[in-house]
């Protein structure tokens, strides 16, 4: 029998009776949202040091980032505590395809809140998760139709590896991955992320085979000699490796080899996907389709955490297609959460409505053209310009041996991470003197990564090039001397 409100009132002690005998819970010294917004740069630095990552502050100081408190952000710009507008050519490592606070995204989110929509989608099915999954299946080529929603690139890549491992079967547990790869830092994908730093001294899984990126002969040799290989995982454009691409023919041959040896290909598009390369998925340039792919970063439209693993129906059904296997990797608590799905749905629509993929292709080519002009002007400083769309790498010459003997010991005093690399010095000076933000590269310290929002126009490219020209025009010795001088003043 269901309790009526009356029965509950008679049988159970009321909340206020129970509360009368209890001491009130001690309220810790909590900051409010208003406190957070009003926090000074000094307080923020102290709290970062005390509660987030004291060691990281050291790098921020080297680069001058510790002097900036961002107050607002809009389109291509951040605005700091002094009202300074900072041009964003970093783009959150590819997380800001739509720029900061796109008005359509803000509206979709506000509407969703005003309508009292629900968020958690574990008990019931979700119309928002269903619509997002349908959109991703409509965009993804071939039979990439089955979608798992999560909240980070690492989570999407974990899901990709799990679905592929199950579909490949227990007799083929080995996974091929590339040198200089980055697929995330969670415990599973760490074994496929080729970084001594991130691997630390963690125990890795032993079922991996490393090949050079873009080396089809090495992959062929691995497939032919080791029948236990069931999966290969590759970023379509390596981001952390320093914006490294493989030619179209590589991907076509890879598809052929995977088909021949029945190996599943996972394309990690967490950074290069969502239109950044001038195609929605970078692999589309080669006209081939992987078995599994992953998106994150810009899928959250710059406002929330959203990630997706997309598998071919065949692979998905083999892994989880029966009632017995369906729950093995069903969504986590925040997978397919309402407002994040709505944000991603709107974001995908904006990408097509505003032709941001076409813009990335066209204005991205213009950026590369302008950078090549600077390369011709400063051949002793710029070694290479490369990339596609708005995924561009600018590689500097290694100057550690050419620097005047007097400056070498000073540079050596600077942190290991910046030693011998002009990108740190140039990036710091772009921010300090020209209000421009660029990204550094984990594995190749000589490379600056340029991943502006896909809304970036030619005028933004021109402003960036003018700033870079002004910094490089000082020459290597002055850039380094200025940087050392600014460190001494701290
Ligand atoms: C190619 C690639 N894969 C996976 C990841 C991991 O994504 P997240 O940081 O959201 O876990 C990243 C993040 O930079 C990435 O660039």
Asked if residue 150 has its Cβ within 6 Å of ligand 1, the reply is no
**Within-domain flag for 150:** yes
DSSP-based three-state secondary structure for 327: coil
Q: Of 308, 323, 353, at which residue does a domain stop?
A: 353
Q: What CATH number is given to the structural domain containing 378?
A: 3.90.1150.10
* 360 in the same domain as 347: no
* 265 in the same domain as 360: no
Asked if residue 270 has its Cβ within 6 Å of ligand 1, the reply is yes
Q: CB–CB of 228/172 below 8 Å?
A: yes
Q: Among 183, 241, 283, 305, which is best to mutate for testing ligand 1, by the most ligand atoms less than 8 A from CB?
A: 183
Q: Among 152, 178, 182, which is best to mutate for testing ligand 1, by the most ligand atoms less than 8 A from CB?
A: 182
- DSSP H or E segment with residue 369: helix 356-377
Q: What CATH number is given to the structural domain containing 139?
A: 3.40.640.10
DSSP string, 370-402: HHHHHHHH-TTTEEEEEEETTEEEEEEP--TTT
Q: Whole-prediction pTM value? A: 0.94
DSSP-based three-state secondary structure for 243: coil
User: Which pLDDT tens digits describe the chain residue by residue (490 residues)?
Assistant: 334 444 444 444 455 555 557 788 899 999 999 999 999 999 999 999 999 999 999 888 888 899 999 999 999 999 999 999 999 999 999 999 999 999 999 999 999 999 999 998 788 999 999 999 999 999 999 999 999 999 999 999 999 999 999 999 999 999 999 999 999 999 999 999 999 999 999 999 989 999 999 999 999 999 999 999 999 999 999 999 999 999 999 999 999 999 999 999 999 999 999 999 999 999 999 999 999 999 999 999 999 999 999 999 999 999 999 999 999 999 899 999 999 999 999 999 999 999 999 999 999 999 999 999 999 999 999 999 999 999 999 999 987 767 777 777 767 666 666 666 788 889 999 999 999 999 988 888 899 999 999 999 999 999 999 999 999 999 988 888 888 777 766 6
Distance CA 112, CA 343 (A): 9
Distance CA 177, CA 422 (A): 30
Tokens read off for 195: 């970084």
Q: Of 336, 353, 370, at which residue does a domain stop?
A: 353
**Within-domain flag for 261:** yes
**Within-domain flag for 149:** yes
DSSP-based three-state secondary structure for 176: strand
Q: Of 319, 353, 387, at which residue does a domain stop?
A: 353
* 385 in the same domain as 297: no
* 303 in the same domain as 234: yes
* 397 in the same domain as 313: no
* 343 in the same domain as 386: no
DSSP-based three-state secondary structure for 26: coil
- How many domains in the chain? 2
* 333 in the same domain as 398: no
* 123 in the same domain as 228: yes
Q: CB–CB of 119/339 below 8 Å?
A: yes
Tokens read off for 427: 């990036």
**Within-domain flag for 41:** no
**Within-domain flag for 208:** yes
* 334 in the same domain as 463: no
Q: Where in the sequence is the domain holding 430, given as residue range(s)?
A: 356-488
Distance CA 464, CA 370 (A): 10
**Within-domain flag for 73:** no
Asked if residue 95 has its Cβ within 6 Å of ligand 1, the reply is no
Please compute, for residue 270, the number of CA atoms within 13 A of its CA located in the half-sphere on the CB side.
30
Q: Which atom of ligand 1 is nearest to the CA of 181?
A: 1
**Within-domain flag for 86:** no
**Within-domain flag for 409:** yes
């Amino acid at each position: 029998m269901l309790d009526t409100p009356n029965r509950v009132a008679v049988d159970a002690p009321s909340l206020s009776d129970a509360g009368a005998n209890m001491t009130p819970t001690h309220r810790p010294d909590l900051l409010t949202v208003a406190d957070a917004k009003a926090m000074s740069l000094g307080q923020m630095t102290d709290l970062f040091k005390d509660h987030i990552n004291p060691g990281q502050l050291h790098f921020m100081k080297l680069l001058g980032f510790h002097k900036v408190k961002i107050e607002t952000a809009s389109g291509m710009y951040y605005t700091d505590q002094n009202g300074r507008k900072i041009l964003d050519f970093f783009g959150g490592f590819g997380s800001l395809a739509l720029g900061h606070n796109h008005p359509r995204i803000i509206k979709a989110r506000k509407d969703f809140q005003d309508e009292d929509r629900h968020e958690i989608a574990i008990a019931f099915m979700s119309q928002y998760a269903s619509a997002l999954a349908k959109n991703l299946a409509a965009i993804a080529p071939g039979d990439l139709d089955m979608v798992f929603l999560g909240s980070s690139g690492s989570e999407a890549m974990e899901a990709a590896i799990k679905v592929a491992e199950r579909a490949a079967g227990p007799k083929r547990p080995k996974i091929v991955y590339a040198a200089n790869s980055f697929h995330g830092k969670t415990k599973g994908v760490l074994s496929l992320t080729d970084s001594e730093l991130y691997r630390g001294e963690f125990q890795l899984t032993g079922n991996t085979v490393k090949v050079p990126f873009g080396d089809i002969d090495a992959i062929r040799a691995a497939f032919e000699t080791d029948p236990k290989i069931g999966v290969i995982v590759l970023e379509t454009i390596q981001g952390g490796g320093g914006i490294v691409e493989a030619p179209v023919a590589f991907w076509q041959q890879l598809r052929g080899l995977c088909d021949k040896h029945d190996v599943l290909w996972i394309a990690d598009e967490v950074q290069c996907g969502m239109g950044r390369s001038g195609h929605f998925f970078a692999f589309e340039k080669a006209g081939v389709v992987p078995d599994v792919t992953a998106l994150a970063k810009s899928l959250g439209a710059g406002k929330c955490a959203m990630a997706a693993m997309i598998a071919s129906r065949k692979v998905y059904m083999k892994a989880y297609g029966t009632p017995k296997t369906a729950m093995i990797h069903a969504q986590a608590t925040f997978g397919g959460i309402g407002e994040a799905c709505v944000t991603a749905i709107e974001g995908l629509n904006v990408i097509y409505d505003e032709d941001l993929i076409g813009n990335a292709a066209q204005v991205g080519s213009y950026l590369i053209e302008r950078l090549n002009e600077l390369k011709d002007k400063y051949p002793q400083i710029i070694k290479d310009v490369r990339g596609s769309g708005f995924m561009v790498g600018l590689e500097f010459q290694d100057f550690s041996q050419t620097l005047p003997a007097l400056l070498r010991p000073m540079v050596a005093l600077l942190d290991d991470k910046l030693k011998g690399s002009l990108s740190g010095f140039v990036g710091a000076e772009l921010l300090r003197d020209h209000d421009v933000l660029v990204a550094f590269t984990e594995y190749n310290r000589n490379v600056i990564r340029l991943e502006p929002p896909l809304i970036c126009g030619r005028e933004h490219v021109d402003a960036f090039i003018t700033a870079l020209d002004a910094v490089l025009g000082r020459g290597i010795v002055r850039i380094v001397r200025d940087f050392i001088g600014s460190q001494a003043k701290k």
